[in-house]
């Protein structure tokens, strides 16, 4: 009898499609759910900072994974990729929890910086949705040692995932002065 993990890996395309739909649909649905009424619990108000920290670690782990693979250290590369997936997974749980509980915070900046903020935010959102299937396909093709296919996926995945994790931190830095909690 096959383990659940073996079934997931063997059917990685179905797994990627399923996870992509669930994650992206959940994020879209959160934008239509009203936030918590009343004062937010203190731990909820700390989640945006936690999200930025997790995104920072993801960025760092991805850079270290890139350096490791450029030095042909596959084992170290894999470990940093596992670390990046771990911090990204914790980020996703934290992000969903925060946005389920809290109202959206409008950006309060003025002038040219507003255009810059919304450019970063919009590109971050679009690419964050796209990174879900890209990262998962990169992961599974790497895990299954499909090297030529893996290289094709990561050519797109690595720079986009680095951008998404870096801009996640930047969005936090720019919006944090306008939080009301």
- 118 within domain boundaries: yes
Mean pLDDT of all residues in 117-136: 97
- 77 within domain boundaries: yes
- 89 within domain boundaries: yes
- 10 within domain boundaries: no
Judged against a pLDDT cut of 70, whether residue 16 lies above it is answered with yes
Give the per-residue pLDDT at 37: 66
- 111 within domain boundaries: yes
Range of the domain at 81: 27-40+51-178
Return the biggest CA–CA distance within the chain: 62
Provide the pLDDT confidence category of residue 54 given band limits of 50, 70 and 90: very high
What is the total count of domains within the chain? 1
Ranges 8-17, 43-52, 75-84, 113-122: which has the least confidence: 8-17
Output the DSSP codes for 35-77: --SSSPPHHHHTHHHHHHHHHHHHHHHHHHHHHHHHTT-HHHH
- 152 within domain boundaries: yes
Q: What is the dihedral of CA 39, 33, 89, 174, to 10 degrees?
A: -60
Give the per-residue pLDDT at 104: 84
151-177 tens-digit pLDDT? 999 999 999 999 999 999 999 999 999
Strand runs labelled E in the chain: none
Kindly report the average pLDDT of the chain as a whole number. Answer: 92
| 24-60 b/e (C-beta count within 10 Å ≥ 16 → b) | eeebeebeeeebeeeebeeebbebbebbbbbbbbbbe
71-87 tens-digit pLDDT? 999 999 999 999 999 99
- 140 within domain boundaries: yes
Burial status of residue 81 (CB atoms within 10 A of its CB: 0-12, 13-18, 19 or more): buried
Judged against a pLDDT cut of 70, whether residue 1 lies above it is answered with no
Distance CA 124, CA 108 (A): 19
- 167 within domain boundaries: yes
| 152-173 b/e (C-beta count within 10 Å ≥ 16 → b) | ebbeebbebbbbbbbbbbbbbe
Provide the pLDDT confidence category of residue 47 given band limits of 50, 70 and 90: very high
């Amino acid at each position: 009898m096959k383990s659940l993990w073996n079934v997931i890996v063997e059917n990685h395309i179905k797994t990627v499609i399923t996870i992509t739909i669930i994650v992206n649909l959940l994020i879209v649905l959160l934008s239509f759910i009203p936030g918590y009424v009343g004062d937010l619990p203190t731990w909820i108000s700390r989640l945006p900072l936690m999200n930025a920290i997790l995104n920072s670690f993801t960025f760092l782990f991805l850079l270290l994974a890139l350096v490791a693979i450029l030095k042909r250290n596959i084992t170290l590369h894999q470990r940093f990729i596992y670390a990046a997936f771990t911090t990204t997974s914790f980020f996703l749980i934290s992000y969903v929890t925060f946005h389920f509980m809290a109202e959206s915070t409008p950006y309060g900046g003025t002038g040219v910086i507003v255009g810059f903020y919304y450019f970063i935010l919009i590109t971050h959102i679009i690419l964050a949705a796209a990174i879900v299937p890209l990262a998962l396909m990169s992961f599974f093709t790497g895990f299954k040692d499909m090297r030529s296919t893996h290289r094709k996926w990561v050519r797109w995945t690595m720079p986009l995932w680095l951008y998404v994790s870096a801009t996640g931190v930047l969005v936090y830095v720019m919006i944090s002065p306008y939080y009301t909690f």
